[in-house]
A and B are shown apart, each in its own frame.
Chain A
């Protein structure tokens, strides 16, 4: 026994009781990994695993429609298909345009809303609840709700236009590509402007009031003090809001599915919708995998651009 024990102690090179400190550190560290592991494993299961599986599938022929077919190597054919079919390129363009337009307009409106909420006035709490409810309800609710609102029979929009004898009454909004996009944008903005506004409000609230007082004393107009003071100081919050919103808009799916089903024709198909169709309608997991991989890459690229462009220089 002692023959074995002795060299071990010698190798350790430490007094017998030395290193309880390290042992403690090690056991705390072990506990730390054990506590973090469940969450990390769950998230790996639902993100990293699909990403890898998509990558693998995107180089194979995986179509459940011909179940008999073995999953053969497909080379880059799935990726080639992305650019050879009008579906993907069209969806890519529509997605990018929708993302750009909706994020810009929603952010501008949200800045106004945040400035409004930043004022102390009676009924501020009510206003906050009023804008939080649209954000908190499921997308299914906002989509269905605005589908109702834009319905020529049951909706309020056509009724209102009709009452005031405005053009556009009796429009079947969701039947035309452009009008459908307007309806989709409204549903999306109604739910998401409050989210941006709340984030920006938090950014506004950490700007000390003295900044404005100093600016006023220096003779700045309201616009100048907004342009030169508020906006720069709001940049961190704006960055967070923009990243969140851009990535959400880029992945828009629920609203499309519920309001238009990608129609009329393919007029409102987005990347996520196309991806869903590839998976669940065409059961083509090779092609779908290729779309998914492009979605992930696109999301990463856009997040990267934001971080690079907007990050405050330190």
Chain B
């Protein structure tokens, strides 16, 4: 058991592609760290560098304070769960789980005891004599886990371990992995592209994009205080509504298309930097749950704290309605947000050009999560109350959150 620290870890492939750039991360003993980001963001490369499967071009990797850059995977005492599980098809479940111990020349009786124990933790006791080919997807996943935990490694690495499972099983295994990790208490790196997994499983979440760390912190911290427009758009589902807005000259109003929102004092106090944006554009971010059907509230559509739009589609989820509506404001889509957030100029990212996600009429989409009692129907015009105190603000050029 140990802590892991990545100090300015960089990976440049022989073809010049910079997959990871100056990554700084510290994972404490027993901590569950999730690396999340869109495909190609370098998260898997980072994981593979920790595993020793990929060389480190620059930077220092320490396990328990000891530099392990030059160590081969076998010398690092790491265990890894692969996306496709990589179970040895010619070995039984027991042999799969015990393989690492066998390589370490552990006495047979000890080995059997360890394998049995791991199988018990994962509910695989009845499958020990089967071959991977005879197992279901979920069972294979467990075997892959078993192979990793039986070793009692210093570091536990998981590369999208749930992506090959169906949705229901994924939810179940999500909880199970978190439970097993708590139980064995080993520093864990978990790579996923699914922000829901990131939010639900990690002690801390590191968001990567084009090889650059965007933000690292506890899931709720990332959700509540995204450092930039990329993190804001990436974390949360449905995604945050991001619009381009103009700040009035006195700094009290945000103009979204033809509509305006008043800037409450609380927001101005929390984000004094907003003052610098008078008469300038800014990116406004509103979480879907911070929009509510104003017809359900008394002060219906009070001026300056509501937005009106045309309802396009209503998804009834039982506990809430997800309402898609059209609004005449310039929306910044997640893909465009990618262009705004800082990325490494040498990373070769092709998403540098912002695309205007707005129709010729200046109409764009928005999403609200409203109370199921709301009777909103497609085609209707609806007014949404905005929790203006919880608005996010970003610089339109740098994509960075506006705070001080």
Partners in one complex: yes
A24 interfacial contact with B, CB 8 Å: yes
Hey, which chain A residues are within 8 Å of B12, CB to CB? 21
Contact A21 B56 (CB under 8 A): yes
Q: With A15-B58, A25-B55 known to touch, is A20 a contact of B70 (CB < 8 Å)?
A: yes
Contact A17 B69 (CB under 8 A): yes
Closest to A14 in B: B58
CA distance A211 to B11 in the complex (A): 48
Q: How many residues of B contact A (CB 8 A)?
A: 12
Hey, which chain A residues are within 8 Å of B67, CB to CB? 17
Contact B14 A25 (CB under 8 A): yes
CA distance A25 to B60 in the complex (A): 18
Task: Tell me the smallest distance from the CB of B374 to a CB of chain A, in Å.
Answer: 52
Within 8 A of B (CB), among A1-48: 15, 17-25
Contact A20 B69 (CB under 8 A): yes
CA distance A20 to B49 in the complex (A): 11
Closest to A15 in B: B58
Contact B60 A17 (CB under 8 A): yes
Contact B55 A20 (CB under 8 A): yes
Proximity bits, A266-289, B CB within 8 Å = 1, else 0: 000000000000000000000000
Task: Tell me the smallest distance from the CB of B181 to a CB of chain A, in Å.
Answer: 29
B200 interfacial contact with A, CB 8 Å: no
CA distance A15 to B67 in the complex (A): 15
CA distance A17 to B59 in the complex (A): 7
Task: Tell me the smallest distance from the CB of B53 to a CB of chain A, in Å.
Answer: 10
Contact A18 B14 (CB under 8 A): no
Among A23, A24, A25, which residue has the most Cβ atoms of chain B within 10 A? A24
A-B contact count (CB 8 A): 25
Within 8 A of A (CB), among B33-74: 55-60, 67, 69-70
Among A21, A23, A24, which residue has the most Cβ atoms of chain B within 10 A? A21
CA distance A15 to B56 in the complex (A): 12
Contact B55 A24 (CB under 8 A): yes
Task: Tell me the smallest distance from the CB of A31 to a CB of chain B, in Å.
Answer: 12
A-side binding surface: helix, strand, loop or mixed? helix
Hey, which chain A residues are within 8 Å of B14, CB to CB? 25
Hey, which chain A residues are within 8 Å of B56, CB to CB? 20-21
Hey, which chain B residues are within 8 Å of A21, CB to CB? 11-12, 55-57
Task: Tell me the smallest distance from the CB of A28 to a CB of chain B, in Å.
Answer: 9
Task: Tell me the smallest distance from the CB of B9 to a CB of chain A, in Å.
Answer: 11
Task: Tell me the smallest distance from the CB of A192 to a CB of chain B, in Å.
Answer: 37
Task: Tell me the smallest distance from the CB of B70 to a CB of chain A, in Å.
Answer: 5
Hey, which chain B residues are within 8 Å of A22, CB to CB? 55
Contact A18 B57 (CB under 8 A): yes
CA distance A271 to B60 in the complex (A): 66
Hey, which chain A residues are within 8 Å of B60, CB to CB? 17
Hey, which chain B residues are within 8 Å of A15, CB to CB? 58
Closest to A17 in B: B69
Hey, which chain A residues are within 8 Å of B69, CB to CB? 17, 20
Closest to A18 in B: B58
CA distance A106 to B70 in the complex (A): 59
Hey, which chain A residues are within 8 Å of B58, CB to CB? 15, 17-18
Within 8 A of B (CB), among A60-111: none
Hey, which chain A residues are within 8 Å of B11, CB to CB? 21
Task: Tell me the smallest distance from the CB of A237 to a CB of chain B, in Å.
Answer: 30
CA distance A152 to B55 in the complex (A): 74
CA distance A25 to B58 in the complex (A): 14
Closest to A21 in B: B55
Task: Tell me the smallest distance from the CB of B74 to a CB of chain A, in Å.
Answer: 14
Hey, which chain A residues are within 8 Å of B59, CB to CB? 17
CA distance A287 to B179 in the complex (A): 81
Hey, which chain B residues are within 8 Å of A18, CB to CB? 57-58
Proximity bits, B1-44, A CB within 8 Å = 1, else 0: 00000000001101000000000000000000000000000000
CA distance A22 to B67 in the complex (A): 17
Task: Tell me the smallest distance from the CB of A25 to a CB of chain B, in Å.
Answer: 7
CA distance A24 to B55 in the complex (A): 6
Q: Show 23 A/B contacts (Cβ-Cβ < 8 Å), sorted by A.
A: A15-B58, A17-B58, A17-B60, A17-B67, A17-B69, A17-B70, A18-B57, A18-B58, A19-B57, A20-B55, A20-B56, A20-B69, A20-B70, A21-B11, A21-B12, A21-B55, A21-B56, A21-B57, A22-B55, A23-B70, A24-B55, A25-B14, A25-B55
Besides A17-B70, A18-B57, 12 more A-B contacts (Cβ < 8 Å) are A15-B58, A17-B58, A17-B69, A19-B57, A20-B55, A20-B70, A21-B12, A21-B55, A21-B56, A21-B57, A24-B55, A25-B14
Residues of B within 8 A of A (CB): 11-12, 14, 55-60, 67, 69-70
Q: Which 3 A-B pairs have the closest CB atoms?
A: A21-B55, A24-B55, A21-B57
